[in-house]
Chains A and B, each alone.
Chain A
Amino acid sequence: MAATMKLSTLGYAASMLSTGLLDEQFQKLLLLQNKSDPNFVAETITLFCEDGEHTIGELTKRLDKQCVNFDEVAAFVHKLEGGSASVGAKRVKNTCIQFLEFCKEKSRDGCLKTLDTLRVVFYEVSGKFKDMLQLEQQQAEATK
């Protein structure tokens, strides 16, 4: 397990795993962090949160139009699907899979409903990631 992450932070991550917010892929991500790459997890999940927020913004814009380009929408969703799968954000990934089905069916209503769900699950996991990183930082400050 990542020796450079505090036990309390790992505990926070464990609770996200037990509630199904994350899957075992997140644990594999932790294993990539080491002394020569001590900020890897923080940087990766920060990037995931930033990219995800940008993607949701783009999806909102594109689905706001009466004439939707479903290929463009699918491209954004696919990118978020890949990113969420790679960081272990299970519910975000699964929502993206549903979203892609509605893109294939060219259903604007279906896409809009799924976008609402995506917003909820994404902000849930990104909020918890930010809390986890804040806890890590506070603990780092406290041990200086």
Chain B
Amino acid sequence: MTSYVEGSPVKALIVEDSAVETMILSAMLRKFHCEITKAKNGKEAVQMFLEGKKFDIIFCDKEMPVMSGPEAIEKIRALGEIHVKIVGVSVGDNAEEEFMRVGADEFLPKPMELDVVGAIIQEIIKKKKNNDTV
């Protein structure tokens, strides 16, 4: 997780191959002033972590070309990234179990709800504030 600086944005990574869904989730996250980075598949997401990039939260789709969401999550956790909150998202059935098995913290069915996304972001802001006051 990144350090908290008063007023600093939550760093969000969207891992999604659908441009439409990326656009919609980005619009939601902008409402909460998040700093948004995008990856088109799991491999691009893993590469970002290999390059040393840090995020507070990842929204990760399940079915993607090149590398799926669950495979990417497994690799990201294996890199030691245990603090970043990972939210698996999918429109299909049986996705939740697969995401949780590989280390996701939460699962959201698509289409995502703005207030649910907002609550997750607020939770991260609160956690960052608490981590820095400890």
Known: A40-B27, A85-B110, A85-B111. A78 touches B91 (CB 8 A): yes
CA distance A87 to B18 in the complex (A): 12
Number of A-B contacts (CB under 8 A): 60
Quick check: B17 and A79 within 8 Å, CB to CB? yes
Which chain B residue has the least Cβ–Cβ distance from A28? B114
Which chain A residue has the least Cβ–Cβ distance from B17? A79
Q: Which residues of B (8-38) have their CB < 8 Å from a CB of A?
A: 17-21, 23-24, 27-28, 30-31
B28: chain A residues at CB < 8 Å are 32
Quick check: B24 and A37 within 8 Å, CB to CB? no
User: Which one, A9-17, A43-51, A124-132, is touching chain B?
Assistant: A43-51
Contact with B along A28-55 (1 / 0, CB 8 A): 1101100011001001100110010000
Known: A32-B24, A32-B27, A86-B24. A47 touches B63 (CB 8 A): no
A136 within 8 A of B: no
**Total interface residues in chain B, CB < 8 Å:** 20
Quick check: B111 and A25 within 8 Å, CB to CB? yes
Quick check: B19 and A86 within 8 Å, CB to CB? no
Known: A32-B114, A78-B91. A44 touches B20 (CB 8 A): yes
Known: A25-B111, A32-B28, A81-B91. A87 touches B63 (CB 8 A): no
Contact with A along B64-100 (1 / 0, CB 8 A): 0100000000000000000000000001100000000
Q: Which residues of A (80-124) have their CB < 8 Å from a CB of B?
A: 81-83, 85-88, 100
A140 within 8 A of B: no
CB distance from A86 to the nearest CB of B (A): 5
Quick check: A86 and B21 within 8 Å, CB to CB? yes
With beta carbons under 8 angstroms apart, the residue of B31, B63, B114 that contacts A78 is: B63
Quick check: A47 and B27 within 8 Å, CB to CB? no
A3: chain B residues at CB < 8 Å are none
Quick check: A82 and B110 within 8 Å, CB to CB? yes
Quick check: B110 and A86 within 8 Å, CB to CB? yes
Quick check: A79 and B111 within 8 Å, CB to CB? no
CB distance from A90 to the nearest CB of B (A): 11
Interface residues of B (CB under 8 A from A): 17-21, 23-24, 27-28, 30-31, 61, 63, 65, 91-92, 110-111, 113-114
Interface residues of A (CB under 8 A from B): 25, 28-29, 31-32, 36-37, 40, 43-44, 47-48, 51, 75, 78-79, 81-83, 85-88, 100
12 A-B pairs besides A32-B27, A37-B27, A44-B27 with CB distance below 8 A are A29-B24, A32-B31, A47-B20, A51-B18, A78-B63, A78-B91, A79-B17, A86-B21, A86-B110, A87-B20, A87-B24, A100-B92
